[in-house]
Structure 1
């Protein structure tokens, strides 16, 4: 009996030596119960038993006291330490939400809203290639070498995090998401990962609806194969730093290597940071003969094989 009591006490105030060393932020939402919290901690590898955590939370009276926030948790913490921290309500990180398709400029504004890192400081970090993985490096001059590889996601940013820390965290997240299977599929399309991400960023900006993404990717792949200019309005938008539903003939002649009306092939780099859906759309692009597409006022796209049919779609659907 004494042994069992000692084991219970140690399980509460001691650490689990069988868990591999790791630390990270855990997000506790207001609607989460002690059971939900135990599940989250277990799934992220910070505890070895959800049952023990629930029993400890109930026995200590902390089960109903866990508060919403972002908490830095590690496997070196005891169950008591974890419960005390989650009940304290002292959130240790800011939540940074980066939507799919955000450019570096937009990410910098989102980071600046956290109140600790000025916009220009983040832009400086994004202009550096210091943290890029080798496959992320292109051979053409770009606005931001990190553009395309700052993975859209929800991040927990520590109060003392630097701009370089955030850039590095986002690049690692991208690397974690691009699996070995994806890399094989990318190679099978005769694309480098850099080219693949650049293409996915065009799809991200051109497609409003999920069902259009693979077909838009198909159009771009067909045009690349036939050495046709991609003529993506989204590339003009990035080049000019503007956003319009349509561009004039004069604007399509805006001289920038990013302007795919002016220059054949992919732009020098990505025009935003694509999400998994658009990256998968490139990999899942069907074999079609489509060379043109146009969007209606609601963003639905219509596809055509010939220029004549494309012009009919323009007249019928374009606002």
Structure 2
């Protein structure tokens, strides 16, 4: 009874401390301090980035609480701009201010990179939409000195991207999204690092830092999911298949890795294609390929971090568009025969 009482008191004390901390973080940093603090929110800032800026300027006490509070209240519509805030404002007042601000100016350059594209296709897209040339983009993303500098600045980047067998060092890290710039002309480093920052934010927001996989492995898994799945439900289930195969040491044998190994898109993967020796070809190697095989979107990254719990080891995409999952090879072969 004494032990039980101590446990109850400990849990109650922890809950009270947590509640007190959260309510304190939601409230003003200093309700008696009305001194104006000038805060600048850049264009393209996420809730994570905004929270970090507010904490650095001392108008909130915890950027993580800000991010979770914004998500809990489903707040959106924050505007880039200059703000006059005070430490006496609570989170609700700060959020209201951030939603009523004025954008600096209209974007002079806007374009979208679709999910799942190979890096060479991303480069072509950027060159067609901006003042940048394919040649300078290609040279920069392969510049070892520049890549080494990026590794020192971005936690998600690891030395593995410099492996000579990696086809494109930044494959998987160039986040597919809409990009807006206030300038008509941009620098090549500005473009690359904008995309890397988006990827870093998505990984952080989805808890990649606490995964058993490295950032490189997470993006590799996500890229396979992006190449295989047609909707969010499939993403989670296919992620579960990948997890199950990795756990028992079974070759992944995913067709998109074969296409990437060849550097050629196939309408249908043939047996002769799968015999190609490459560190990307999951019919040729066990485990994950040496790196990502495309640039995955947030839904695939989230699926890679949250695989569905099931016993499926196989799946088949039928010509009808339906996908059939199986636990055994016999079930899989019957599905292929039935629905081909």
Give 1:101's match in structure 2, choosing from 91, 116, 127: 116
> What are the within-5 Å matches in structure 2 for residues 150-169 of structure 1?
150-157=174-181, 158-169=183-194
Offset, 1:127:
2.1
2:192 is the alignment partner of 1:171: no
Offset, 1:216:
0.6
> What are the within-5 Å matches in structure 2 for residues 45-64 of structure 1?
45-47=81-83
Offset, 1:153:
1.0
Gaps of 5+ in 1: 1-16, 27-38, 55-70, 74-85
The aligned counterpart of 1:19 is 38
Contact 1:207 1:299 in 2 (8 A): no
> What are the within-5 Å matches in structure 2 for residues 1-319 of structure 1?
18-24=37-43, 43-47=79-83, 73=104, 93-128=108-143, 129=147, 130-132=149-151, 133-139=154-160, 140=163, 141-157=165-181, 158-179=183-204, 182-186=207-211, 190-318=212-340
Offset, 1:47:
4.8
TM-score, normalization by structure 1: 0.72
Q: Give the 4+ runs in structure 1 shifted more than 6 A.
A: 50-54
Shift of the 107–313 alpha-carbon distance from structure 1 to 2, 3 Å rule, reads same
Offset, 1:278:
0.8
Shift of the 226–138 alpha-carbon distance from structure 1 to 2, 3 Å rule, reads farther
Rounded to whole Å, the distance in 2 between the matches of 1:51 and 1:184 is 30
Contact 1:294 1:302 in 2 (8 A): yes
SS in 1 for 2:256: helix
Contact 2:220 2:292 in 1 (8 A): yes
Shift of the 273–249 alpha-carbon distance from structure 1 to 2, 3 Å rule, reads same
Shift of the 51–235 alpha-carbon distance from structure 1 to 2, 3 Å rule, reads closer
Rounded to whole Å, the distance in 2 between the matches of 1:227 and 1:162 is 44
**Residues 166-189 of structure 1: CA deviation (Å, up to 9, x unaligned):** 111111111122226612542xxx
Over aligned residue pairs, what C-alpha RMSD do you find? 2.8
Rounded to whole Å, the distance in 2 between the matches of 1:316 and 1:149 is 39
Gaps of 5+ in 2: 1-35, 46-74, 85-96
Moved more, 299-308 or 174-183: 174-183
**Residues 24-47 of structure 1: CA deviation (Å, up to 9, x unaligned):** 379xxxxxxxxxxxx998533445
TM-score, normalization by structure 2: 0.68
How many residues align structurally? 255
Rounded to whole Å, the distance in 2 between the matches of 1:247 and 1:197 is 23
Contact 2:127 2:133 in 1 (8 A): yes
Rounded to whole Å, the distance in 1 between the matches of 2:131 and 2:119 is 17
